[in-house]
Amino acid sequence: MFAALAFAAALQATPEAEVAAVLDQLNVASAAADADAYFALYAPDARFVGTDAGEHWTREELRGYVGPYFARGQGWSYPATSRVITIAPIQCRCIAWFEEQLTNDSYGRTRGSGVMRLTDDGWKIEQYVLSLAVPNDLASPIARIIKTYEAAKATAP
């Protein structure tokens, strides 16, 4: 009986719910440091844009960066506290974009956004952007700190 109910529920899943499930799976896989599950959620030509200005990676570049962390069992958790998912108003209903508020023990409130595409293997992440949520009142002082840091780094031997 339970299997029949689960099957019926799966048939009624909306594209928005399917996209949300992929994003939730992304957090579960990263928290578990499960590289196979994590990278299976990305399209082969996906891009990841991280919080550091230098973090603009292909899926394979991201795998190279996080591989040593995951190999040590060191993952990260960014559970969503809110999320908006939009399915492109095109006939195939095969493109979605999302914006989510996240929380993290080290970074506090962050933001994730990106684009997903429906493939033969389900929804896949084409682009994911992780950003810090900086209050406007702090943006100028933080920008000055970053400029000073980058200038010092550029002149360092």
Contact by Cβ (8 Å): 129, 112: yes
Amino acid identity of residue 80, one-letter, is: A
Please state, in angstroms and as integers, the Cα–Cα distance from residue 66 to each residue in 48, 61, 73, 74, 143, following that order. 12, 9, 11, 9, 27
**pLDDT for position 157:** 82
pLDDT in tens, 38-69: 999 999 999 999 999 999 999 999 999 999 99
**pLDDT for position 116:** 98
Q: What percent of the chain has pLDDT over 90?
A: 85
- Checking if the pLDDT of 5 tops 50, the result is no
Beta bridge partners of 99: 84, 113
**pLDDT for position 2:** 45
* DSSP assignment letter at 40: T
Give this prediction's pTM.
Answer: 0.86
- Checking if the pLDDT of 126 tops 80, the result is yes
Arithmetic mean of pLDDT over the chain: 92
CB under 8 Å to 129, separation ≥6 — which residues?
48, 49, 112, 113, 114
**pLDDT for position 10:** 53
- Strands (DSSP E) found in the chain: 42-49, 56-58, 80-87, 95-104, 108-119, 122-132
